[in-house]
Amino acid sequence: MATPASRHPGLSNGQAVDIQSLPIMATAGFLESVAQAVAQGMRVSAFFAQPLDQGRLRLWAILAQDSQSLLFPYCTDLEDAHYPALTPRCPQMHLFEREVCEQWGVEPRGHPWLKPVRFHAPYRQGQANAGSGSGNQVGVTDYFRVEGEEVHEVAVGPVHAGIIEPGHFRFQCHGEEVLHLEISLGYQHRGVERHLAAGPDRRSLHLAETLCGDTSIGHATAYCQALEALAGDQASARAQMLRGVALELERIANHVGDLGALAGDVGFLPVLSFCGRIRGDVLNMTGLLCGNRFGRRMVRPGGVGYDLDSAVAAELQKRLDILEKDLTVALDLLWGTSSVMARFEGTGAISGQTCKALGLVGPAARACGVERDIRWDMPAGIFQFAQIPVSTWGSGDVHARARVRWLETFRSIAFLREQLANLPAGEIRTPLGPLAPNHLAVALVEGWRGEICHVVTTDAKGNFSSYKVVDPSFHNWFGLAQALRNQQISDFPLCNKSFNLSYCGHDL
């Protein structure tokens, strides 16, 4: 059969395409093409169902070929309410197939374990929730169990001990050793994606900003990029630069917070305190841009909500100097403390092979030595003109995930310095024209946790006909479960923090 790449020339990040120009594949060919593409090293960035008229469904797969900076949208119109599952051939599909099944009642036959993802009512009336589990009562499902005389089960959550979002974790343990961790989420499900699909309306942008509120800039940028692609308009160079500044500030704030929290989880309180305070200072830098510490109001369709004058740019430069100095002292102390390193090194390791099979993204993938970064592989906006080197570390453990954050933080600081010194002139926001009807747009952004993917299709009137959000956490939660294999259960908090995944971004 034809190689997948020959079917469509491929899209670049932030590009829209007329759906009528795309071949609608027969289901068998579609499945084969996806499997082949993944076998050839492409990644599944998104997989979802779009409702057509008369209850029919179209399955979409967005495949990313990082080496060529191209995205391949494949689609098929389903004839039946089932199809042969891809997961047995393609492990990174496991959660996507469960998701489509839960939402639309389409059964991927042969899926190893078809459990609910978010425990919500089916999207279509009169349709049963497929898969194992009793209806949509959250947390009530079959869990993987290990049997044996000295085996015990530990259940944690949904409500946790700190100020943390809810989720349920089940450990199968033999003594202190974790044989298996199962993560069951859905407690934060608030219908974001379903409501986005009814847009665009005056709430859509705000849903994008709050679907994962610690990544407001990342998700709002993806939303706006998709809209701009559909409208055929571009944000000005100045606006794109300002978005990039906000995105990197968001990355720095979260990475610094995570490094502090990692120190805290091994009981090294000085660095916890230093980094906690420094993180707040970085949030205040975002506050200086737009008045809100989480970057709300900053990214807007067609550009940004606020301009930056030279006085504020100078102030930010000054704060970057202080930030770099304080952070260097704090993190040198971290790396120089042998009791910290003893806990970080070798804990929760994942191999590069497992990382690729599961389709992990972001710092979690780069910590396995896998060079994967949307800013580099599929640059959009400012990253087409200003590149940040990809930060990797090979060991795949807690130490590597910490080191990648550390490298990225300093590289982001360097990027910010350069951008703030070279503000291009121009408008900050240009009004968008109407959205093209019957088009598909894909927007990817490298958020601080990894690849953010928004896929939008429009109907004949230019309204959304489907809206798919893939938060990096969707790819990475299973990585955390893998990292816990054969670890001490007491290392869970540390491993968990080294991923620091989003519950609300997953639950939507």
Partner 1 sequence: MLDIILARMQQKHRTMKFPYGPAPQMPPRYLGRPAVMPGDCPSGCNICREVCPTGALGRQGRLGLDMGRCIFCGECAPVCPAQRLRFTQDHRLATGSRADLLVDSEVIRPASPLDAQRKRLFGRSLNLRQVSAGGCNACEADTNVLGTIGWDLGRFGIHFAASPRHADGLLVTGPVPANMRLGLLKTYEALPTPKLVIVVGACAISGGPFAGHEEVADGAGDLLPVDLYVPGCPPHPLTILDGLLRLLGRLPEPGKD
Binding stretches for partner 1 (CB under 8 A): 118-120, 138, 158-159, 161-166, 186-192, 194-195, 202-203, 205-207, 209-214, 216, 270, 273-274, 276-277, 279-280, 283-284, 287-294, 296-297, 305-306, 326, 329-330, 332-333, 336, 502-504, 507
Comparison of 304 and 494: residue with beta carbon closer to ligand SF4: 304
Residue 293 CB-density burial (10 A; 0-12 exposed, 13-18 middle, 19+ buried) = middle
Kindly state the smallest distance separating residue 105's Cβ from partner 1, in Å. 18
- Judged by beta carbon distances under 5 to 8 A according to partner kind, the member of ligand SF4, partner 1, none in contact with residue 120 is partner 1
> Hey, what long-range contacts does 153-162 have (CB within 8 A, 24 or more apart)?
154/489, 158/187
Kindly state the smallest distance separating residue 502's Cβ from ligand SF4, in Å. 12
Comparison of 213 and 369: residue with beta carbon closer to ligand SF4: 213
Instruction: List the one residue out of 266, 312, 287 whose CA is nearest residue 423.
Output: 312
Structure tokens at 241: 């630069």
CA–CA gap between residue 504 and residue 120 (Å, rounded): 14
Structure tokens at 309: 């004058």
Kindly state the smallest distance separating residue 171's Cβ from partner 1, in Å. 19
CA–CA gap between residue 471 and residue 477 (Å, rounded): 11
Comparison of 110 and 166: residue with beta carbon closer to ligand SF4: 166
The owner of tokens 């109407």 is 434
DSSP string, 11-66: B-TTEEEEGGGS-EE-HHHHHHHHHHHHHTT-EEEEEEEEE-GGG-EEEEEEEEEG
CA–CA gap between residue 467 and residue 83 (Å, rounded): 22
Kindly state the smallest distance separating residue 378's Cβ from partner 1, in Å. 26
Comparison of 257 and 359: residue with beta carbon closer to partner 1: 257
Instruction: List the one residue out of 335, 366, 334, 373 whose CA is nearest residue 350.
Output: 366
- The alpha carbon of 383 is separated from its chain's Cα centroid by a whole number of angstroms, namely 18
Kindly state the smallest distance separating residue 121's Cβ from ligand SF4, in Å. 22
Kindly state the smallest distance separating residue 234's Cβ from partner 1, in Å. 23
- Judged by beta carbon distances under 5 to 8 A according to partner kind, the member of ligand SF4, partner 1, none in contact with residue 206 is partner 1
Kindly state the smallest distance separating residue 294's Cβ from ligand SF4, in Å. 7
Phi then psi dihedrals of residue 178, to 5 deg: -85, 120
Comparison of 295 and 302: residue with beta carbon closer to ligand SF4: 295
Comparison of 210 and 337: residue with beta carbon closer to ligand SF4: 210
Comparison of 331 and 368: residue with beta carbon closer to partner 1: 331
Positive or negative, the CA dihedral 195, 247, 505, 97 is: positive
- Crossing angle, helix 492-499 and helix 472-483, to 10 degrees? 160
The owner of tokens 């579609």 is 30
Comparison of 28 and 140: residue with beta carbon closer to partner 1: 140
Kindly state the smallest distance separating residue 161's Cβ from partner 1, in Å. 4
Comparison of 105 and 505: residue with beta carbon closer to ligand SF4: 505
Evaluate the omega torsion of the peptide bond into residue 158 and state whether it is cis, within 30 degrees of 0.
yes
Kindly state the smallest distance separating residue 194's Cβ from partner 1, in Å. 8
- Judged by beta carbon distances under 5 to 8 A according to partner kind, the member of partner 1, ligand SF4, none in contact with residue 15 is none
Instruction: List the one residue out of 388, 362, 294, 333 whose CA is nearest residue 499.
Output: 362
DSSP string, 393-406: -SS-SHHHHHHHHH
Instruction: List the one residue out of 493, 495, 473 whose CA is nearest residue 483.
Output: 495
Comparison of 192 and 378: residue with beta carbon closer to partner 1: 192
Instruction: List the one residue out of 164, 166, 207, 213 whose CA is nearest residue 186.
Output: 166
Instruction: List the one residue out of 356, 476, 358 whose CA is nearest residue 91.
Output: 358
Q: In residues, how long is the chain?
A: 508
CA-to-CA dists, residue 224 to 171, 321, 455, angstroms: 40, 31, 11
The owner of tokens 């994008």 is 208
Comparison of 110 and 213: residue with beta carbon closer to partner 1: 213
Kindly state the smallest distance separating residue 138's Cβ from partner 1, in Å. 4
CA–CA gap between residue 166 and residue 507 (Å, rounded): 10
- Judged by beta carbon distances under 5 to 8 A according to partner kind, the member of ligand SF4, partner 1, none in contact with residue 192 is partner 1
- Give the chain's count of helices (H) and strands (E): 16, 15
Kindly state the smallest distance separating residue 213's Cβ from ligand SF4, in Å. 4
Kindly state the smallest distance separating residue 202's Cβ from partner 1, in Å. 5
Comparison of 159 and 269: residue with beta carbon closer to ligand SF4: 159
CA–CA gap between residue 290 and residue 296 (Å, rounded): 7
CA–CA gap between residue 243 and residue 237 (Å, rounded): 10
Sites of contact with ligand SF4 (CB under 6 A) = 210, 213
